[in-house]
Amino acid sequence: MQITKRNAQLIVDDSLMRLYVAAPKTEGFYPGILFYTDIYQLGGSMTRLADYIAGHGYVVVAPEIFHRIEPVGSVIEPDDIGRMRGNDDARRTPVADYDTDCTAVIDFLKKESSVSPGQIGTLGFCIGGHLSFRAALQSEMRAAACCYPTGIPSGKLGRGVADTIQRVNEIKGEILLVFGTLDPHVPENDRQTIANALEDAHIPHRILLYEAEHTFMRDDGYRYDPATANSAWSEILAFFKRIFAI
C-alpha cells in the first residue's frame, strides 16, 4: 500500500512538538497508531519503521519525544555521544510531561479524518517501548506493541520514578511484548516482573522472546538482525490486524 508522509505540529505546554505522520494514500478509514521512537528521535531508521506499518493500513503519528529540550527537527546520531545526549534528554524530561504528550497525540489522532473512531493503538521501541506500555494506561488504547521496553520494573523513564508497573491494572486493551533474550537492558528478571504484573492483573498479553540483542529491529545499527526483525514484524502486524479486524 502506498503512503503519504507529512510533518504536523502541536503546541504542548507552550512547546512546539513536531509530529511525523505516515498514512495510506488511498482514501478511507484506518486505525491510528501512536508511534514512539527510541532516544534518537525521528531519524531515518525510525521513520522507515513508521512508514512500514503505515503501508499495512494504519495512520501512524510519531512525536518528537524530547521537544521541550531539543530544537524542532533534531535527530540524535546513534553513536556514543548521541547515546549520552539522548539518555540525558530522557533523564531531564519529567514523567508527567511524557503523559501530557501522550494525551495530546491521542487527541490529534482522534481528530484525524482518516482514523476510524475508537481504533487507536500504540507501538514503541526501547524507551518508546516503555512509553507505549505506559500509553496503554489511557482508556482509548486498544492495543500496545512494546519492543524491548526499558525501565518498566525500575520506574526509569524520565525525571522522577515512573509508576507504570504499579498501574498495570488500568490497562483496558491488549499488550504484545517483544524481547531479545541477549538484551542486557531488559534482563530476564525484568521480563518476568512485567509478565507477572500482567498476569496478576489479568491483562490479555503475549510475550515474544527472540535470541537477539537490544535494538535488533533498528536497521542502521550493528545489532540489527533482519531475519529476527522480520519475524517480529509479522507478529506485530498479526496482533494489530486481529484487534482492529482489518
For the segment 117-135, the average pLDDT, to the nearest whole number, is 98
* Residue 214 is a catalytic residue: yes
- Interval 73-120: pLDDT, tens: 999 999 999 999 999 999 999 999 999 999 999 999 999 999 999 999
- Interval 173-205: pLDDT, tens: 999 999 999 999 999 999 999 999 999 999 999
- Interval 164-180: pLDDT, tens: 999 999 999 999 999 99
* Among the listed residues 145, 142, 115, the one whose alpha carbon sits nearest the alpha carbon of residue 132: 145
User: Any idea where the domains of the chain sit in the sequence?
Assistant: 3-244
- Interval 25-73: pLDDT, tens: 999 999 999 999 999 999 999 999 999 999 999 999 999 999 999 999 9
Task: Point out the catalytic residue in the list 102, 126, 146, 147.
Answer: 126
pLDDT (0 to 100) of residue 109: 98
* Residue 13 is a catalytic residue: no
The set of cell numbers assigned to 182 is 541477549
Q: How far apart are CA 136 and CA 113, in angstroms?
A: 23
* Residue 126 is a catalytic residue: yes
pLDDT (0 to 100) of residue 236: 98
Task: Point out the catalytic residue in the list 97, 183, 190, 225.
Answer: 183
For the segment 233-246, the average pLDDT, to the nearest whole number, is 95
Neighbours of 61 (CB within 10 A): 26
Phi first, then psi, for residue 26 (nearest 5°) are -70, 130
- Interval 11-23: pLDDT, tens: 999 999 999 999 9
The set of cell numbers assigned to 37 is 521512537
What pLDDT band is residue 246 in, cutting at 50, 70 and 90? confident
CATH number of 3-244: 3.40.50.1820
Confidence (pTM): 0.97
